[in-house]
Amino acid sequence: SQKIEQNSEALNIQEGKTATLTCNYTNYSPAYLQWYRQDPGRGPVFLLLIRENEKEKRKERLKVTFDTTLKQSLFHITASQPADSATYLCATSPSGGYQKVTFGTGTKLQVIP
Amino acid sequence: DADVTQTPRNRITKTGKRIMLECSQTKGHDRMYWYRQDPGLGLQLIYYSFDVKDINKGEISDGYSVSRQAQAKFSLSLESAIPNQTALYFCATSDSDSKGKLFFGEGSRLTVL
């Protein structure tokens, strides 16, 4: 079955450094990969989407890579700020028809001032 | 105002009671979803609807039912609540070619005693 793995351990990083979160998927080849941000007790908020034929996508301080050979995505936040502290969810979806979204369990990021 | 509104935000109930969680959206999207989130688990899909006449079971539909009253309204019912249905429930919407880009509500925290 489709499975997404994200590091369940929290990631603590010093303010100003680059945070890198990892997402690995197994047993399938998604057409799209998404990253969401979730604050405690709140709904996930969509951040970025990358397609299988794209290697890298950027949005302001965020960068996502998608390596279909390694079946892995990396999510980078440069010049991290305490306000970036949250749980980040990786998700994938297929092409065509019903694009069912499969979510990972998320990695909690804590940016220390 | 939020684009995806869920009510109630918090609810405590007893085993065996019938509970309805409601979701309304102003995004004009055709597709609506109900997810459940438990600590340490990814978001799990309960039901999804592509339009008013199209409702489909997700991964964990047992014990739940839904109603799509209008394009903008999608409600989730627990006919006879049980303690292991204690969880955070999210409604989400998307357009027909979302590529996995979902818009979530703020969540409904349900506790079944």
Sequence-distant (6+) residues with CB within 8 A of A51 are A31, A32, A66, B99
Residue range B29-69, pLDDT digits in tens: 999 999 999 988 889 999 999 999 999 999 999 999 999 99
Size of interface A-B (CB pairs under 8 A): 59
- Residue B27 near residue B103, CB atoms below 8 Å: yes
**Four-CA torsion B45, B50, B51, B52, nearest 10 degrees:** -30
Contact A43 B90 (CB under 8 A): yes
Q: How many residues make up chain B in this entry?
A: 113
Measured between alpha carbons, how far is B57 from B34 in angstroms, rounded to an integer? 10
pLDDT at residue B100, rounded to an integer: 85
Nearest CA in chain A to B43: A103
| Least confidently predicted of A42-51, B14-23, B42-51, B94-103 | B94-103
pLDDT mean over A15-32: 93
- Residue A32 near residue B99, CB atoms below 8 Å: yes
Higher pLDDT among residues B106 and B40, named by residue? B106
pLDDT at residue B3, rounded to an integer: 93
What are phi and psi for residue A88, nearest 5 degrees? -115, 125
Higher pLDDT among residues A94 and A18, named by residue? A18
Contact A41 B43 (CB under 8 A): no
Please list the residues that pair with B25 across neighbouring strands. Answer: B4
Token pair of A22 as six digits: 């990892």
- Residue B36 near residue B53, CB atoms below 8 Å: no
Higher pLDDT among residues B59 and B21, named by residue? B21
- Residue B91, classed as helix, strand or coil, is strand
Measured between alpha carbons, how far is B58 from B35 in angstroms, rounded to an integer? 9
Token pair of B10 as six digits: 């918090």
Residue listed under structure tokens 């694009």: A99
Residue range A50-101, pLDDT digits in tens: 999 999 999 999 999 999 999 999 999 999 999 999 999 999 998 876 778 9
Contact A106 B4 (CB under 8 A): no
pLDDT at residue B99, rounded to an integer: 85
Interface-testing mutation among B9, B41, B43, with chain A (most A C-beta atoms within 10 A): B43
With beta carbons under 8 A apart, name residues in chain A contacting B109: 41
pLDDT at residue A97, rounded to an integer: 64
Gyration radius (Cα) of chain B, Å: 13
